[in-house]
Chains A and B, each alone.
Chain A
Amino acid sequence: MIRRREVAKRVFAYELTRSTHVLQEENVKYALTPLGERVNRIFSVSVLLDKEEVRPDTNLWRMRLSDPTGVFYAYAGRFNSEAVETLLDLEPPVIVALVGKVRVFEGVTRKLVSVVPENLVEVESAVRDYWVLETAKATLKRIEEMEKKEGEDVKLAWNIYNPNLEEYKSVVKQAVSLIREELEELEKEFEEEEEDFEFEEEEWDLTELLED
């Protein structure tokens, strides 16, 4: 049987780390998010805060990642050699794009959600900016679906998580305004730099040199 590759969903850390319920369909496992999305794979653009070998010489690496809504962990080992190879060259903090499978680990006291990266690459800040915009839109769409209370997964999500949708809305809003503020700051700096440049030009016009 040919199965289409699972699409990598755009999910913020805030929603991802709360996605503790696992669904299984045939041989594919999904984590159900509190907003009723089935995720097998995610695509995230986040800041790699640090990397650490879980135990010496295991070649199993733990990455701590952060997006504007929270922090999550990713584990890369010998089965993700390409990602590990990239990781070894990265000096945190850097912005990375990653595609990976979502894993739910049943701990003693609680369930922990992490990601196993398949692809990992350093990217420019514009990529992160657009990812936040895209993920914000995807999350808002899920919130809308939750409000309608239709569909199997949506109903299941209500049953299991009973999420506070206003909380999710405000998380999305904060993420969008954070990037907006950063962009505005950049624009301002850019304008100031241009002013500085003109100022320097004027200094060259001083007549002292000519009077000599």
Chain B
Amino acid sequence: MNEENVKSLTGIGLEEAKRIAQEKLDRGAVLSELKSRLLGRYFKVTGTKGGRYILVKEVDFYKPELKEFKLLGEAI
């Protein structure tokens, strides 16, 4: 993911990252901030597939739709 992707997901770009690091006086602060916004989430990703990675073109949080639950519920 490039800076633009990270910024659109988390609101943290290079400038914000610098500000957070300066305010908290901690280089780890940016990483923990990013983790709290990204870890455990589901994403919808488009891009180029590599071996064990994807070069991301577009990425966004994934939100399931009601109909997916309806379909699965009926299938059981």
A131 contacts across to B, CB distance below 8 A: 42
Interface presence of A60 (CB below 8 A): no
The smallest C-beta distance from B76 to any residue of chain A, in angstroms, reads 5
Find residues 59-76 in chain B having any chain A CB closer than 8 Å to their own CB: 61-64, 66, 68-70, 72-73, 76
Name the contact of B76 in the complex, choosing from A98, A99, A119, A173 (C-beta under 8 A): A173
Interface presence of A162 (CB below 8 A): no
Name the contact of A126 in the complex, choosing from B35, B36, B64, B73 (C-beta under 8 A): B64
Find residues 25-53 in chain B having any chain A CB closer than 8 Å to their own CB: 35-36, 39-42
Chain B: interface residue total (CB-CB under 8 A): 17
A129 contacts across to B, CB distance below 8 A: 63-64, 69
The smallest C-beta distance from B60 to any residue of chain A, in angstroms, reads 12
Among residues of A, the one whose C-beta sits closest to the C-beta of B62 is A130
Known: A126-B64, A130-B62, A183-B66. A137 touches B40 (CB 8 A): no
Can you list 12 A-B contacts (CB < 8 A)? A86-B36, A97-B40, A129-B64, A130-B63, A134-B42, A169-B76, A173-B73, A173-B76, A176-B72, A176-B73, A180-B69, A180-B73
Among residues of B, the one whose C-beta sits closest to the C-beta of A179 is B69
The smallest C-beta distance from B42 to any residue of chain A, in angstroms, reads 5
Interface presence of A123 (CB below 8 A): yes
Complex formed: what's the CA distance from A183 to B40 in Å? 21
Known: A129-B64, A130-B62. A45 touches B73 (CB 8 A): no
Interface presence of A189 (CB below 8 A): no
Complex formed: what's the CA distance from A131 to B70 in Å? 15
The smallest C-beta distance from B5 to any residue of chain A, in angstroms, reads 19
B41 contacts across to A, CB distance below 8 A: 97, 123, 127
Cβ A183 vs Cβ B36 within 8 A: no
B35 contacts across to A, CB distance below 8 A: 121
The smallest C-beta distance from B34 to any residue of chain A, in angstroms, reads 11
Complex formed: what's the CA distance from A96 to B39 in Å? 10
Among residues of A, the one whose C-beta sits closest to the C-beta of B76 is A173
Complex formed: what's the CA distance from A179 to B66 in Å? 9
Interface presence of A32 (CB below 8 A): no
